[in-house]
A and B are shown apart, each in its own frame.
Chain A
Amino acid sequence: MVNVGVVGLGKMGLSHFSIINAHQDTNVVGLCDSSGYILDILTKYTGVSTYSNLETMLDGTDIDAVVIATPSKYHAPMVRTCLERGIHVFCEKPFCLDPADSIALAQLASDKRLVTQVGYHNRHIATFREVKRLLEAGVLGTVTHVLAEAYGPVVLKPKGGTWRSKKEEGGGALYDYAAHPADVLTWYFGRPESISGTVLGKVFSAETEDEVFTTLNWPGGLSGQLSVSWSDESHRKMTTSISIWGTNGKIVVDRQELRVYLRDAADAPEGYVKGWTVRYTTELTDEVDFYVRGEEYSAQVDVWLKRIGDSAVRGTADFIDASVTDEVLSTICNNIDGGLRHLDAQSESSDGQSLSAAQTGLWTRLKNRQRNRRLRSGSRY
């Protein structure tokens, strides 16, 4: 049994609470939020102990693991508090607004052998995972270009009163929406070396961007584009899709459907043919034990809890993976003139004190460790 606490009871925190509370291997032992209102209601109707302060919750209960779903600016200090007490952490995305924090916390978790994960749920969607497998098998030959898109109807008029409309708190379409397709890009292709041509467009918001368009370049010549808007009412909900071009064909994937075009299928995995192969989520998705709002939300929690049980410190979307995505987001955020920005250079210039991960050699060490681990375990991710 894993004793879990949940901090931050907004949409995501409550959703995690529901999924984890229903999980057979966990006890939810504490809920924490700054709103006494929501705490009173939850105490009354669910019987779980509630706290208005993280430290008090950690002092007052025997907690093994914490879910952090507070506004993004609180992630770094709260994650640190938990890690220093030896507690495993699941943090909502984006991980940290300052990549120097991301890297330091990834290092701390790694040193203390704690199991961490960030809520990048696309990594737990069956179609996106299948694409990861296909890319690792090299089915597209040399990948030359990728387009990552996300559109949805969040901000459709000029107003907004929550932290999501405040830039300094991590609001805006970049951290809220673009974080997801950006994370898929780093998951599939690793860390890009530069960002350029960024447009952070406003549609309705006064303080934050509603659109994100940018170009990414990876070592070796792969280029990518990110195209995101949270002010697109033609979509019923957030819709993420990725298109990938390579010398041997093309892949187009969203959460429901995977379309693969192969010029030559001689070396392709079973089930993939020359020309088009279309596969659906109905065939690819594993059932979950408890479903609230998409299998991926349950699956990501299952993976994290299982990793805690197995003491598997490295795993998909852990703090190390999320730090790479944070570096990308931060570089996009600072690329307001649209010029070319290298990921390392940006880290140096934004904070003279902090060392970038590349400089500390963290990426190289972790990359080797990850490769060794993959060779050992034949990981699905």
Chain B
Amino acid sequence: MDRLLFGDNQFFGVNHMSEDKARTQAMRFQSLDSIMSVLDAAYDADVTTFMCTTHDRIVDVADRFRAEPQRYSRQVVYPCMPYAHKYANAMTEAGIFGAIRQFLPSEGLLDAAMRGGKSLANKDIEGIITLLIDAEMKMFRGLNTPVIFLQNVVVDFLLGMGFTEAFRIFADHVSSRYNAEPGFITMNMPRLLVALDAVGIENPIVCTSINKLGFRMSGGLDSYLDALRNRRFRAIAMSVFASGAIRADEAIEWVASLPNIESMVFGASSRTNIESTAQLVTKHWSRTPELLRTA
């Protein structure tokens, strides 16, 4: 994995600090061109991995990547599934299984439709999960997706219930069908590591909030530091700036000082911000710019 990964919260009206800011960003990124110009800026700054949710609008971004294979020859995409609000809003309206049915492939692939109906009828969770993964992955066909993530809402929800078998099903499917490594996003990192261990997922890629403030680090900063020192896993730090509550320089210097962090994911809306973040990572962490690309 690259040292620096580019996230997508800024494009879709997600800001953990301000609804106004989120709305302003959502308006600014109304057009695909404005999203692409920021992604291009990241690419040109050697930040060539785009870690994105399976939001409907990513379909258009993926089309652009496919349309210009030369321009985006080094582009890597880490899909993060599912875009949870899509399911949550559908669940309120249609109930849990109504929502699942809504997102299972229903046309075109007769086989998938059959598999879906059968899986639902037989309570075959493995069948349902794999079909949902396939439905989410459709938009990425032909792109380089070496790591596929399960979003934190789903990971943490399953973790709390003790439904950890689902992690193994997810991991097996993304590696066998997509030849990708499974990744897990969580707000409960130390606890998740124990659960992944228990279902036999070794040295997992785990993306989690890691910041100087302890923001969204459930179980406390110390338990995170302890896990970083003593557990075997590949950590990606997110919320490094705690949504802007920590100065960039200070935030990156602190994260770079921690052991065992392989990458950090960040969001930015301008070329200047991307370049300055890349410079800070080079300064505090990689020492040489080449390391930005491959940790």
Which residues from chain A sit less than 8 Å from chain B, CB to CB? 10-11, 14-15, 17-19, 21-22, 37-38, 40-42, 44-48, 152-155, 160-162, 164-165, 176, 236-237, 239, 241, 254-257, 280-283, 285, 287-293, 298
Contacts and interface: CB of A to CB of B under 8 A. Distances in A.
A241 B163 contact: no
A236 B160 contact: no
B160 A22 contact: yes
B69 interface: no
B85 A257 contact: no
A292 B188 CA distance: 8
A22 B17 contact: no
A88 B14 CA distance: 37
B214 A256 contact: no
Contacts of A155: 93
A40 B187 contact: no
Contacts of A17: 160-161
B95 A18 contact: no
B285 interface: no
A294 to B, nearest CB: 10
Interface of B: 12-20, 22, 26, 85, 88-89, 91-98, 123, 125, 153, 156-163, 165-166, 187-188, 191, 213-220, 242-245
B156 A292 contact: yes
Given A10-B95, A282-B242, A291-B187, A237 B20 contact: no
A154 B88 CA distance: 9
A19 B16 contact: no
B19 A254 contact: yes
Given A237-B85, A282-B245, A287-B214, A22 B159 contact: yes
B118 to A, nearest CB: 14
Chain A interface, DSSP helix/strand/loop, else mixed? mixed
Contacts of B216: 287, 291
9 contacts: A11-B92, A19-B160, A45-B163, A47-B162, A162-B98, A164-B92, A256-B17, A280-B245, A281-B17
Nearest to B216: A291
A381 B4 CA distance: 42
A46 B162 CA distance: 5
Given A154-B89, A236-B13, A283-B245, A292 B157 contact: yes
B91 A11 contact: yes
Contact of A14 (B157, B162, B218, B243): B157
Contact of B166 (A45, A239, A256): A45
B225 to A, nearest CB: 14
Contacts of A10: 91, 95-96
Contact of B161 (A18, A44, A154, A256): A18
Contact of A160 (B16, B19, B94, B158): B94
Contacts of A11: 88, 91-92, 96
Given A21-B160, A291-B156, A161 B92 contact: no
B123 A40 contact: yes
B97 A37 contact: yes
Nearest to A19: B160
B157 A18 contact: yes
Nearest to A165: B93
B220 A287 contact: yes
A154 B96 contact: no
A22 B190 CA distance: 13
Contact of B89 (A46, A153, A239, A283): A153
Given A19-B160, A292-B157, A257 B20 contact: yes
B37 to A, nearest CB: 22
A37 B123 CA distance: 7
B18 A280 contact: yes
B84 to A, nearest CB: 8
Nearest to B246: A282
A285 B85 CA distance: 23
Contacts of A22: 159-160, 188, 191
A288 B91 CA distance: 26
A282 B218 contact: no
Contact of B19 (A48, A257, A287): A257
Contacts of B161: 14, 17-18, 21, 42, 45-46
B219 A289 contact: yes
B12 A236 contact: yes
Contacts of A289: 218-219
A18 B85 contact: no
Nearest to A9: B96
The 4 A-B residue pairs with the shortest CB-CB distance in the complex, in nearest-first order: A18-B160, A291-B187, A22-B160, A282-B245
Contacts of B98: 161-162
Contacts of B153: 292-293
A10 B94 CA distance: 11
A322 to B, nearest CB: 21
A208 to B, nearest CB: 12
Contacts of A293: 153, 156-157
B89 A282 contact: no
Contact of B94 (A21, A161, A256, A288): A161
Contacts of A45: 125, 161-163, 165-166
**Residue among B26, B162, B243 facing the most chain A CB atoms (10 A cut-off):** B162
A87 to B, nearest CB: 22
B97 A236 contact: no
B125 A41 contact: yes
A110 B118 CA distance: 50
A236 B161 CA distance: 26
